[in-house]
Amino acid sequence: MTASTTVAPESLLAAPDRASQTEITAEIGERHADLARREWAGESIRATVHDFPPYRSSLLRHPTKNLKLVDPETIELLSPAFGQRDVAAVESDLTVQHAGEPLGERMTVRGRLTDSWGRPLANQLIEIWQANSAGRYIHQRDQHPAPLDPNFTGAGRAVTNDAGEYAFTTIKPGPYPWKNHVNAWRPAHIHFSVFGSSFTQRLVTQMYFPGDPLFALDPIFNTIWRPKDRESLIGVYDHDLTSPEWATGYRFDIVVDGPDATWFENESE
């Protein structure tokens, strides 16, 4: 199954209009201002907007109609069940998956998974994937001329403990060039895929690093239009999580949303 994934070179993904960074940055600003006006006028707007033209590959891939509000049924209020047998402990350490040690800045990221009421979500699966320290993904489609690291794949999994906590050891990813516009660079990030206790809470997101100069330039980060929401995706450097002569430490807490009905589901478990 997994062998059938597409391997078209990434150059085919280039946006045809080849906009400049100045144009993209201006579009991002206009879009954010427009969304703020609409919210001021009383419209309810999602934290991440699907319709965000500065992210060029979204143009034909976002729905144009409003999402239909529906009462979740039981299948949507529950979620696949996970346990420690679903992942091996070694899968949460991305630096020990090969014969040698990967190059780059060794780091740990740990945090707590909770629902919107602050209740920890135990036994939930978290999957991560990322570029290596040079900003290169192992994916065949990534043609970025930065070196692959034979000792780094960049994928890991963990199941949260009884307190909802997870921890990964990895290498800090590098920034990564792409073809959304001319001279487009993604801020360094780690992709997170998270299961909550309810299928409605399913979350795929990206964790960023403090102080990245690329934040304002990146159309994907800015599909989240409120500054406060964007800030919540920036991992927090925590010196107490840094281990002497070993690894820097970051904290990234994750809050999954859900309709009010999920309050009862979590209560009963």
> Given the rule CB under 8 A, which of 24-32, 163-171, 238-246, 261-269 is the region that contacts another protein?
261-269
Q: Which is nearer to another protein, 237 or 263 (CB)?
A: 263
Question: Which of 217, 163, 168, 164 is closest to 191 using CA atoms?
Answer: 168
Contact 181, 47 (CB under 8 A): no
Query: Rounded distance, CA 213 to CA 217, Å?
Result: 8
Which residues pair with residue 169 across a beta bridge? 93, 108
Toward another protein, which CB reaches closer, 16 or 244? 16
CA–CA separation, 104 and 147 (whole Å): 12
**Residue 250 is among the residues annotated as catalytic for this protein:** no
Annotated catalytic residue, options 186, 208, 230, 250: 186
Q: What is the DSSP code (8-state) at residue 94?
A: T
Catalytic residue among 106, 136, 166, 176: 176
Q: Does 160 bind another protein (CB under 8 A)?
A: no
Q: Name residues contacting another protein, limited to 75-134 (CB under 8 A).
A: 75-76, 78-83, 85-87, 114-118, 125, 127-130
249: left (phi over 0), alpha (psi -120 to 50) or beta: beta
Work out how close the CB of 62 gets to another protein at its nearest, in angstroms, rounded to a whole number. 6
Q: d(Cα 170, Cα 126) in Å, to the nearest integer?
A: 14
Q: How many residues bind another protein (CB under 8 A)?
A: 90
208 in catalytic set? no
Give the distance, in angstroms, between the CA of residue 242 and the centroid of all CA atoms in the same chain: 22
**Is 191 a residue of the active site?**
yes
Binding residue for another protein (CB under 8 A) from 154, 173, 187, 249?
154
State yes or no: is 237 an active-site residue: no
Annotation marks residue 137 as catalytic: yes
By CB under 8 A, what part of segment 209-238 binds another protein? 220-221, 223-224, 228-230, 232-233
Report d(CA 207, CA 190) in Å as an integer.
5
Query: What x-and-dash track marks residues 171-210 binding another protein by CB under 8 A?
Result: --------------------x-x-----xx-xxxxx----
Element at 77 (helix H, strand E): helix 74-77
Residue in 14, 23, 72, 165 binding another protein, rule: CB under 8 A: 72
At 185, phi and psi to the nearest 5?
-135, 135
Per residue in 187-202, is it b (16+ CB within 10 Å) or e — as a string? bbbbbbebbbbbbbbe
- Could you say which residues in the range 18-37 bind another protein, by CB under 8 A? none
Q: Which residues are catalytic?
A: 137, 176, 186, 189, 191
